[in-house]
Structure 1
Amino acid sequence: MPLVSFAPPSLYLTLCTFLHRLLPSLPAPVRDVDIPSLFRERFILSGYRPVGLSWRCYILSLFQIHNETVNVWSHLLAAICVVMRFMVFTILQGGGFLGVRLQGPEGQGFSVDASSLPLVLYVLSAITYLSCSAAAHLFQSHSEEAHYSLFFLDYVGVAVHQYGCALALFLYSSDFAWTQSMLGQVFLPAAALLAWLSCTTCCYAKLCFRRPYPLHRKLCQVVPLGVAYLLDISPVAHRLMFHRWTNNPALQLHFLQVVLFLLSAFFFSCPIPEFFHPGSFDVIGHSHQLFHILLSFCTLAQQEALFEDFLRRRPALVRQFGEEHLLLACVSFLCLALCCTMTALAMKRKARGQLMKEQR
């Protein structure tokens, strides 16, 4: 009777060896006492990735179970959903939508489509903040300098999205009477200033306060963000208070995104449920994960609401605001992004100097 060999073929062994070298096994997550205090979170006792691994290890940790897995995937998947939904909406609405007209007035070339460009910038801002957040949580354990730099980048993404929301809500979701009010007249400059202030104060709080964090660190982060949100959402709040919701899916979606944002803000501000059971929600279920998930759904609901408002307002948008005003508002978006980026780079240099001073 012939013997049957169960030994794997040499090609299989070679492939396994190659994959083992290409994809090294990751070290197991560690407890909070095994990493520096900078990388610890209150009431989260385990599930941390070791500090100082190679960048490749942190990329591969995307497929590992640790206390940042949900944070990374929630915003990564949300960014993919935002892109795919926008592409579907673009296809359904036909050509000449992605911020440009494929044909100019004389039937050839292309020109800027001022009416849809703010919506494109909104989608770009959403992708930016979601991607920056995912990158920050994925790579922040590499080193102290990377930790500071990546979260400064995260705050830039948040500020950019704040102004992207403000721009889109002002142009697509506001009433004409509200835009002519005193608040409507100063809305965009004030929204840009508050977005930059939010980025600056969050960077400052991250750099200048050490654990255990005092209460005013959280206030330094939350208060500017809260004031900015109250301003940015004011066009929607006006419509929600003075218009009927019947047969108006946009207002229903706006109400949903407000509720989701308030819930996410609660979990961002309060370490619940891990406060009551430290160590029980380390990998799944702690407050920052709930904040990420709720904020992701908030963004998707807001995008859908803006799609509805865009379809309603697009025909009269250029006539109401003027093409020059719309283009100027879009340029202000790029200026705000540049200012926030420069602020983050300045904070990064300050953080590097502070770390070098501490290492002496």
Structure 2
Amino acid sequence: MCNQSGQCSSRSRNKQGKGKRLWKKVKYQLVEYHSLPGYLRDNEYIQGHYRANWPLKQAFFSIFSIHNETLNVWTHLIGFFFFLCLTIYTAKKVPEVVDLHSIQHLPDLHKMHADLMTCLPSLPDMSDLHKLREELRTSMPSGWHILELLSNCLPDRFFSGNQTDASVLHNMTDELANVIGPFIRRPVTRWPFFAYLGGAMFCLLASSICHLISCHSERCSYIMLRVDYAGIASLISTSFYPLVYYSFMCHPFFRNLYMGFITVLAIATVMFSLLPQFEKPEFRTIRAVLFSGMGLSGILPILHKNILYWNQPAAIHTTGYELLMGMFYALGALVYATRVPERWMPGKFDIAGHSHQLFHILVVAGAYSHYRAGLVYLQWRDFEGC
């Protein structure tokens, strides 16, 4: 109650405070599918636990509460941080990992080690051989001829003019060149690989934000869905870059043709997604087919790669990872389009286990498969060059 001077009792203020808290609790409660505004109606088989018309602050902090988008947000948010860690690791470790892996698998390593012991008697063990490799890789200009290196380490008797010794010198030159050649060659450019990692991170982060705040308003939902579609197109198109660039780096025409084609296709897909009808439920299958078609266009460069390098183990190895990636993406698109398993038991998978969550997990698995293929590409081209 309030007195004549306008002062309210503590009991009255408490009632008002409880009323405001109750109103907020009711206002931001989860609703069922039939209560949703039209722009949020996408999957009638998910029947409850929706957020609708929430302020941005409440929508953002709902990341820590339970609703039917919680796992959609976290599956790709965790995937984003996972790929961020992979990017940092790759930037720091890939050159060293590739070099060490290559030298440890040279078939004539023991024979060449013996030759190096004759040439450089001060090298007592394999660790010193590795130190020599690192010094050569970092200090020797790539244009130096191998004979200049040998002239600094071989005894003078090899340059006495004796034909037998000269033939020995040339034999050792050829063998030593095979060993250290990959390590004094400049590493292949990394930008296609990091472009792919950037595209993957953009896709995963855009998807998480879209699922988190699209419940704010129709305009926000429209914008965030377009960002989400752009992220999907970015992931698919940049997946081509390591495949095409490293497979056809010795064939610039095909490299530019394939990379230009997928880039133009991605831009066209993003432009098409700007149409208001694109996100409607009846276009779900068309969306799945469109993005799947982008991915399937990668079959041509993969076949071309295997024709060019049919006897190259790295080509077969990368193709295995790419087939695994395609399997994950295709299964994800199928689950997304058919809305399995929630269509079998509507309402039972509202919180966990519905098709969009499975789709997210399969996307992260496919993206990681392609990351593994990228590592093989880098090792292949670092070791062999063009």
The normalised TM-score by structure 2 is 0.63
The AA in structure 2 aligned to 1:55 is L
Matched length:
275
- State which of 281, 285, 300 in structure 2 corresponds to 1:234: 300
1:265-276 pair list within 5 angstroms: 265-276=333-344
Take 1:218 and 1:244, find their aligned partners in 2: how far apart are those partners? 42
Take 2:313 and 2:239, find their aligned partners in 1: how far apart are those partners? 24
- State which of 125, 149, 152 in structure 1 corresponds to 2:199: 125
Give the aligned partner of residue 267 of structure 2.
196
Give the aligned partner of residue 52 of structure 2.
50
- 1:304-332 residue CA offsets vs partner (Å, 9 max, x unmatched): 11111122124565xx4xxxxxxxxxxxx
Task: Work out whether residues 258 and 301 of structure 2, in 8 Å CA contact, stay in contact via their aligned partners in 1.
Answer: no
Distance 1:92 1:56, change over 3 A: same
Task: Work out whether residues 340 and 354 of structure 2, in 8 Å CA contact, stay in contact via their aligned partners in 1.
Answer: yes
Take 2:75 and 2:303, find their aligned partners in 1: how far apart are those partners? 27
List alignment gaps of at least 5 residues for structure 1: 1-20, 98-102, 106-112, 321-360
Q: How much does 1:79 deviate? A: 1.0
Task: Work out whether residues 245 and 251 of structure 1, in 8 Å CA contact, stay in contact via their aligned partners in 2.
Answer: no
1:1-360 pair list within 5 angstroms: 27-42=28-43, 43-51=45-53, 53-93=54-94, 115-173=189-247, 186-204=257-275, 207-208=276-277, 213-214=281-282, 217-238=283-304, 243=310, 249-314=317-382, 320=386
Q: How much does 1:151 deviate? A: 0.7
Take 1:278 and 1:316, find their aligned partners in 2: how far apart are those partners? 55
Take 2:231 and 2:279, find their aligned partners in 1: how far apart are those partners? 23
Take 1:260 and 1:244, find their aligned partners in 2: how far apart are those partners? 27
Q: How much does 1:163 deviate? A: 2.3
Q: How much does 1:89 deviate? A: 2.7
Q: How much does 1:50 deviate? A: 2.8
**RMSD between aligned alpha carbons?**
3.3
Take 1:209 and 1:153, find their aligned partners in 2: how far apart are those partners? 13
Q: How much does 1:170 deviate? A: 0.4
Take 2:256 and 2:91, find their aligned partners in 1: how far apart are those partners? 31
Take 2:312 and 2:38, find their aligned partners in 1: how far apart are those partners? 49
Distance 1:186 1:77, change over 3 A: same
- 1:11-60 residue CA offsets vs partner (Å, 9 max, x unmatched): xxxxxxxxxx9xx9794422112220211232110011132x22121121
Task: Work out whether residues 155 and 203 of structure 1, in 8 Å CA contact, stay in contact via their aligned partners in 2.
Answer: no
Kindly, what percent of the aligned residue pairs are identical? 25
Runs of 4+ in 1 over 4 A off after TM superposition: 173-177, 237-249
Q: Counterpart of 1:189 in 2: which secondary structure?
A: helix
- 1:253-281 residue CA offsets vs partner (Å, 9 max, x unmatched): 22221211111111121111111111111
Give the aligned partner of residue 4 of structure 1.
none
List alignment gaps of at least 5 residues for structure 2: 1-20, 99-138, 142-186
Take 1:245 and 1:280, find their aligned partners in 2: how far apart are those partners? 50
Larger Rg over CA atoms: 2
Q: How much does 1:239 deviate? A: 5.0
